[in-house]
Structure 1
Amino acid sequence: MPNPRTLLAIPLAVALIGLTSASAPPAGKPATDATLPLLVTRGKAPAAALLAREAPWSTTEPGAPAAQPDRQAAQRPLWHFAHVNQPTVDDTTPPADINPTPDTDPESDIATHTNVVSKTATGSPSDARNTDSDSDADTETDNGAATRIRRTDHFRAGSITKTFIATVVLQLAAEHRLSLSDPVERHLPGLIRAKDSENDKSTKGLDGRTLTLRALLTHTSGLADYTSATKGLVPLTPSEAVRTALTLPTTAPGRWSYSNTNYVVLGMVIKQVTGRSYAAETARRIITPLRLSGTSFPGTRSTLPSPHGRAYTHQGRDVTALNPGVAGAAGELISTLTDLDRYYAALLAGRLLPAPQLRQMLNTRAAEGHYGMGLYPQKLPCGTTVWGHNGRIPGSYVRTAATRDGDRVLTFRVNTDEIADPALERTLLTAEFCS
């Protein structure tokens, strides 16, 4: 559940733009194959993986938009999967012990510190799954199963949940079941009210009678982030999360300030409007139509579906079992690399929202250019702007980015919640979208 502002502000280090010849990919290999190992060596992650998808949607693919004459003919998508992890560890070795600082420059020493498995397939997501066969495991005789990442693994997606929640709210707006100008009070009476006491500044200026759904979607509500009190470790009900936020100092309404509380409230609005939980409504509107078979809202279930690997905090503690109530509608989602690529491609291709609502989703004016509604842009050094979201929850960091038309998508993940060098994220996106 990170604040993307810091990621947007980090400059691309010159040393990371041009990889040395020792780390350059062989001819024909994607540029990301040279960059991915840096997430393990320099980023100190136990393991990392990516799945890239490139091609317009076939009319026979689940979630395919209507044919558009001005776009190129549909073709079979190209999927590229790569993963890397620290070698020579056993299943009981914590991440803190498997991330030594290399004696030499990590860029020139990648080959001796990591083992990259990279496969490309053309066709359907099932073809991509076939690239992650048992033969991959055979090539990793020195790698521990505790840190290995496979393409089919389920993992916690953190704040990527927000894109799903925003999509459902915008669908409801398109159906005229709510308006983005609606005050919170219209749907959740009495939930947010300003304090009357001049001595209590905590919620001064915040009132559900003037606070709109648009402000929640764009993080301009002024609501404090309840996870600043819980540190993302304490499971709370939605009402408890809001009450916790209301005890914290507010930010200025109308100014952009990333807050998980905003999307917890939106989850409550979805239930009030539809009569179904945000999880059930998202499954009905997005997960089932797109056949996102690896995506789910676990509620309070602490286990991950199979298959899955292990998840660690950046201090090395195993948090594979985790109560998702620490995040709720702001970050509860479990997914897979394939499902996230499929979802963002469908969303940006116009499959899930009518054109006016998709334009609203991508409009960043209210958030000072930082954020739309459940999506944010990132301009890369080559001038390309990608759209997507990141997600951080104990034991997992994920990032999905896509071109505006959804034709090209990349999702990468690490099985820990912090990348030691945050600039590596931009480096990896640059390798994918600027090559």
Structure 2
Amino acid sequence: MTITLSDQDKSTLRIAAYGAVTLMTAAGAAGQPHKIATNGSIALGSATGLIGHVLADHPEAKDLTGRSVAEIADRVLPALTTAMNLLKRQDPAEADNFRKTVLVAAESAQMPQDRPSPAAAEMVRKITEALDAAVPDRPELQKAIEEIVESGFLGVALRVRDEQGEWAGSAGAAELGGTAKPPVHGHARIGSNTKTFTATLVLQLVAEGKIHLDTPAADYLPELGLDRRITVRMLLQHTSGLFNFTGEVYDDGTIVHGIPVPYSTTGREWVDKRFHTYKPEDLVRLSLSKPARFEPGTGWSYSNTNYVLARLLIEKVTGRSLAEEMQRRILDPLGLTGTVVPDASPEIPEPHAHVYYRYEDTTIDITRHNPSWVSTGGDMISTSQDLATFISALVSGKLLPAPLLAEMCTPHSTGLPNMDYGLGVFVQRTDCGGTVITHNGGTVGSAALMYTTPDGGKTLTAVLNWVDDADMSVAAAFQNAQKRLVNEVFCGTAQPAN
């Protein structure tokens, strides 16, 4: 039987699942559920007709009296898995909503309890595993990430949304010496994907008339003494010529250092200062103390300085912090609960894989470190799920009006092969002749990939963890991994990872 879900059907599925899971996690050892569970059973009873067929033998309150939590789970988990599979095939975004609803129900049911029972905690774990297991069988994707791990990475977690539904899987290890795979819903430092979020926020302010793309950035930030030829557009497009405060490598091979970074000769200094807090204004002033790479608007050069200025611009115009504006304008509207603007906090939410740095024959865990050293050039934390939701919503026009979205995705030549840049996004041609909108990000020991077709219908997001070093030994493997996954997902072909 082929089932096509209406919007009302999807809403009913969420309500029914909330009731079922509340019953499961709130039921006490004596089989006496809390009042919230009773209310949940009423909602669950609304799953009639088509949705009743999907949930099959959904339990009612009277059926659960005296039942153990394990017995309740046996009744509910198969229905949740069935519903999740159906949603992932028809509406991956709604599958995200369904998953979040179920987990909120599990957490809410335990809140009134002073000491949640071990049985209830075990059920929450089983619920999460059941939802994560509800994915299509995609052996070619699993094989791809396993080969990527073999090429030199500690772990890879991949998420693909396409015409076959949503698939998420992982390979390798979450930490050195461990056997557990990286969590498919794990948090990771997403590096320069931060720039796409930041550019989107700036363009929202452009849409409201609070910022103008072709106005000198100095008009908004007069206290910094910026070259008046540098416009807001040039910041987002990397055509300002401003020195990159994380260092520059010139065409003749000359390296000019900025702040200590994990690479080249400053690796040990970065390790020693990895909990130091850098102020955005100080990073900009360091950049301005160095010669520009070129006259504004006459070239292209990737510079983290541009996006720290974008942050200061947002904060100056709105009167609020970047974190507040990001939450209010992007994260909350899209339900991106796994995404964080950490500012100077070294913490990263659970679950997450670990990342490492090797120097002088010593390997240390640098999962916790202060990301203010890169600031808005790449400090955000997210999940592959949130990245997929964000990039799809962006290109689908849910965050920006059509004219500004078109400007954002209009490619500007960078001088690099197949690496044209818009405003906060790369526009690339695939090997099979298609176009993808992307912005990957790498930070020490961690990286995040984010690709979508221009209509948002197919997305690839991934997080990788590894043991990094001053020589960036995995750089070539990282490039191969990106190409391997893009070819597999967007072209249906792949070359083995080197």
Give your verdict on TM over 0.5. yes
**Which residue in the other structure is 2:230 paired with?**
211
Matches within 5 A, 1:142-291: 143-145=178-180, 148-193=181-226, 207=227, 209-228=228-247, 229-232=258-261, 233=270, 235-252=277-294, 253-254=296-297, 255-291=299-335
Alpha-carbon distance in structure 1 between the residues aligned to 2:414 and 2:212: 19
Kept in 1: contact 2:154–2:176 (CA 8 A)? no
Alpha-carbon distance in structure 2 between the residues aligned to 1:212 and 1:40: 42
Unaligned runs of 5+ in 2: 1-135, 248-257, 262-269, 469-473, 493-498
- Note the alpha carbon deviations across 1:367-421, whole angstroms, 9 max, x for none: 5662111100221111111111111112211111000001110111211354442
Matches within 5 A, 1:355-394: 355-365=402-412, 367=414, 370-394=420-444
Q: CA RMSD in A?
A: 2.1
**Count of residue correspondences:** 319
Kept in 1: contact 2:238–2:303 (CA 8 A)? yes
Alpha-carbon distance in structure 1 between the residues aligned to 2:287 and 2:214: 22
Alpha-carbon distance in structure 1 between the residues aligned to 2:371 and 2:210: 29
Report the CA distance shift for 1:327/1:246 in structure 2 as closer, same or farther (over 3 A).
same
SS of equivalent to 2:364: coil
Kept in 1: contact 2:340–2:380 (CA 8 A)? yes
1:170 CA displacement: 0.5
Note if 1:328 corresponds to 2:378: no
Note if 1:345 corresponds to 2:389: no
**Which residue in the other structure is 1:18 paired with?**
none
1:309 CA displacement: 2.2
**Which residue in the other structure is 2:119 paired with?**
none
Note if 1:81 corresponds to 2:168: yes
1:223 CA displacement: 0.3
Note if 1:399 corresponds to 2:434: no
Kept in 1: contact 2:387–2:461 (CA 8 A)? yes
**Which residue in the other structure is 2:352 paired with?**
308
Using the aligned pairs only, state the percent identity.
38
SS of equivalent to 1:49: strand
Alpha-carbon distance in structure 2 between the residues aligned to 1:151 and 1:28: 15
Kept in 2: contact 1:45–1:419 (CA 8 A)? no
Kept in 2: contact 1:162–1:329 (CA 8 A)? yes
Given candidates 453, 462, 485, the residue that maps to 1:428 is: 485
1:425 CA displacement: 1.1
- Note the alpha carbon deviations across 1:108-143, whole angstroms, 9 max, x for none: xxxxxxxxxxxxxxxxxxxxxxxxxxxxxxxxxxx5
Kept in 2: contact 1:152–1:337 (CA 8 A)? yes
**Which residue in the other structure is 1:109 paired with?**
none
Q: Which stretch shifts more, 352-361 or 297-306?
A: 297-306
Q: Report 1 or 2 for greater relative contact order, CA contacts < 8 Å, sequence distance ≥ 6.
A: 1
Given candidates 296, 299, 315, the residue that maps to 2:343 is: 299
1:307 CA displacement: 1.6
Alpha-carbon distance in structure 2 between the residues aligned to 1:216 and 1:230: 20
Kept in 1: contact 2:447–2:463 (CA 8 A)? yes
TM-score (norm 2): 0.61
**Which residue in the other structure is 2:149 paired with?**
40
- Note the alpha carbon deviations across 1:178-213, whole angstroms, 9 max, x for none: 1001111111003134xxxxxxxxxxxxx1x22100
Higher Cα Rg, which structure: 2
Kept in 2: contact 1:49–1:83 (CA 8 A)? yes
Report the CA distance shift for 1:282/1:92 in structure 2 as closer, same or farther (over 3 A).
closer
Alpha-carbon distance in structure 2 between the residues aligned to 1:83 and 1:382: 26
Alpha-carbon distance in structure 2 between the residues aligned to 1:92 and 1:385: 37
Given candidates 144, 148, 161, the residue that maps to 1:53 is: 161
Alpha-carbon distance in structure 1 between the residues aligned to 2:427 and 2:259: 28
**Which residue in the other structure is 1:6 paired with?**
none
Alpha-carbon distance in structure 2 between the residues aligned to 1:28 and 1:290: 28
TM-score (norm 1): 0.70
**Which residue identity does 2:331 align to in structure 1?**
I
Alpha-carbon distance in structure 2 between the residues aligned to 1:427 and 1:249: 38
Unaligned runs of 5+ in 1: 1-26, 56-76, 94-142, 194-206
SS of equivalent to 1:36: helix
Kept in 1: contact 2:138–2:167 (CA 8 A)? no
Report the CA distance shift for 1:149/1:247 in structure 2 as closer, same or farther (over 3 A).
same
Alpha-carbon distance in structure 2 between the residues aligned to 1:289 and 1:210: 35
Alpha-carbon distance in structure 2 between the residues aligned to 1:172 and 1:358: 13
SS of equivalent to 2:238: coil
Alpha-carbon distance in structure 2 between the residues aligned to 1:265 and 1:178: 13
1:177 CA displacement: 0.8
1:269 CA displacement: 0.2
SS of equivalent to 2:460: strand
**Which residue in the other structure is 1:63 paired with?**
none
Report the CA distance shift for 1:419/1:32 in structure 2 as closer, same or farther (over 3 A).
farther
1:349 CA displacement: 0.7
Kept in 2: contact 1:385–1:403 (CA 8 A)? yes
SS of equivalent to 2:451: strand
